[in-house]
Copies of this chain bind each other. A is one copy, B any other.
Amino acid sequence: MKAVDISFFQNLLGKDNAYFDEAHKLAYSYDATRKKFRPDGVLFPRNEEDVSKILKYCNDNLITIIPRGAGSGFTGGALAINGGVILSFEKHMNKILEIDLENMVAVVQPGVINIDLQKAVEEKGLFYPPDPASMNYSTIGGNVSENAGGMRAAKYGITKDYVMALRAVLPNGDIIRAGKRTIKDVAGYNIAGILIASEGSLGIITEITLKLLSKPKLKKTAMGVFDSVNSAMNAVYKTLASGVNPVAMEFLDNLSIKAVENQYKKGLPTNAGAILISDVDGDVMEALNSDLEIIEKVFKENKAIEFVVAKDEKESANLWFARRNCSQAITVYGSLKINEDITVPRAKLPELLEKIDEISKKYDIKIPCFGHTGDGNVHTNVMVDKNDENAVKKGYAAIEEIFKITVDLGGTLSGEHGIGISKAPYMNLAFSDEEMNLFRQIKKAFDPNNILNPYKMGL
């Protein structure tokens, strides 16, 4: 970074908000992909005006900007793969600005941590449903930029379903608003809609207005045990198509069950082909019981060998324990976990899991699967020894086959993690040249000098 650039940033923000030392470059060089790329500097804007001035300067001087939430992304969206300055909101722009009880809306800055927002609104009887697994550290800005999902997506949808309005800064420094604190708004193009999930490549989001719901008063948890993955996957889509609307319908396959049991000794059914864990919620117990009856009926029609309803919160937490701990537990199967978040139309789940099993056998690699099957999202984990070059190569070949199958089944490369750099090589499996060209035209419309998070998403 040129001395003139460094002094511009330090004059604008103060030396304690603009760092160019090696320690900061190192601290902001990684994310959850474990890949490392050193940025040229780390900036902590104090407010939207700072962001505007930074962007204008960077646009005029062709300096790359990489916006960063908590760096918890799985696809490298926050990595400075080609240098540039990191823009972090964790120090200053991390406030819950308003919780509007009358309109059931929260207004937050991008650096607010997901769980802090959840707790703040729940104290007031309200509810912010999106709950990515990273919710204890990931930020709302990051959640919006990747359109994060979570456990409750089957019933409540994902981040995009809660974004009512955004404020953002364009590369030229223009500050724009998009959307309103209204349920409906059809004036002008849906700018908020395209900024969501754009991985920080179109504009820098500086304020987020989120829709809130009333917090459901009651919740119950059930678990079904199945002899095979196939039975469980049939049970998932048939339950959802039966008219019941569970909060979650989460899945663990035999390898995932065994890994958790091996580590924690919880008495899990290690001979089961799969388990499904499902929550239902609402304000009236009769409605929850009616939902559970339907779920039990459809599970048993689809060869569930056991069906348990938790009697209380402790039993519920016990049922959820396996799901919450499997991602870490399955590392027992290999020192390198190539994990993807493929998503298919729900009725294609049985076929998807069959094909993954075939690939596992073909390459002789363990591929434990679990995930948010209630919305068609399966976390597939290709486990290999990171020091075995041949195994790693086979692992990536297996992943490419899995992506191809997913797309053939009408699915998507990513249900919730985004593309970043990790999945960029596979974009051509999912998108035509014409579609990629349109993405490039849109990128150019927002960011003609390509200063915002370039080279992500295969662009």
Q: Give the interface of A toward B (CB within 8 A).
A: 100-105, 125, 146-147, 149, 153-154, 157-158, 160-161, 170, 174-178, 180-191, 193-194, 196-198, 202, 214-215, 237-238, 240-245, 282-284, 286-287, 290, 343-347, 375-377, 410-419, 423, 427, 430-432, 434-435, 437-439, 441-446, 457
Contact = CB atoms under 8 A, between A and B. Distances in A.
Given A214-B243, A243-B283, A435 B180 contact: no
Given A105-B345, A160-B193, 13 more contacts: A101-B241, A103-B347, A147-B184, A154-B183, A158-B184, A174-B437, A177-B435, A182-B412, A183-B377, A186-B416, A214-B243, A438-B446, A442-B442
A198 to B, nearest CB: 6
Given A282-B287, A284-B287, A290-B284, A184 B412 contact: yes
A17 to B, nearest CB: 26
Contacts of A187: 412-414, 418-419, 423, 427, 430-431
22 contacts: A100-B347, A102-B345, A103-B237, A146-B186, A158-B183, A170-B434, A174-B434, A181-B345, A181-B410, A182-B411, A183-B343, A183-B377, A185-B343, A186-B197, A186-B415, A188-B427, A189-B194, A189-B198, A191-B194, A214-B243, A441-B445, A441-B446
A347 to B, nearest CB: 3
B189 A410 contact: no
A150 to B, nearest CB: 10
A260 B414 CA distance: 53
A180 B409 CA distance: 10
Q: Which 7 A-B pairs have the closest CB atoms?
A: A193-B193, A214-B243, A102-B347, A183-B375, A445-B445, A174-B434, A184-B415
Contacts of A154: 183
A187 B432 CA distance: 13
A284 to B, nearest CB: 4
A203 B414 CA distance: 25
A181 to B, nearest CB: 4
Given A237-B103, A284-B286, A191 B438 contact: yes
Contacts of A431: 187-188
Contacts of A284: 284, 286-287, 290
A187 B417 CA distance: 9
A78 to B, nearest CB: 15
A419 B243 CA distance: 37
B193 A419 contact: no
A198 B194 CA distance: 13
A129 to B, nearest CB: 13
Contact of A176 (B149, B202, B413, B432): B432
A211 to B, nearest CB: 10
Q: Which of A238, A412, A418, A439 has the most B CB atoms < 10 Å from its CB?
A: A412
Most chain B CB atoms below 10 A, which of A149, A198, A345: A345
Given A184-B153, A283-B290, A412-B185, A104 B176 contact: no
Given A149-B184, A243-B125, A376-B182, A175 B101 contact: no
A178 B444 CA distance: 19
A132 B59 CA distance: 44
B344 A189 contact: no
A140 to B, nearest CB: 16
Contact of A194 (B194, B214, B430): B194
Contacts of A346: 102-103, 183
A186 B243 contact: no
A375 B184 contact: yes
Given A175-B434, A188-B419, A410-B180, A286 B286 contact: yes
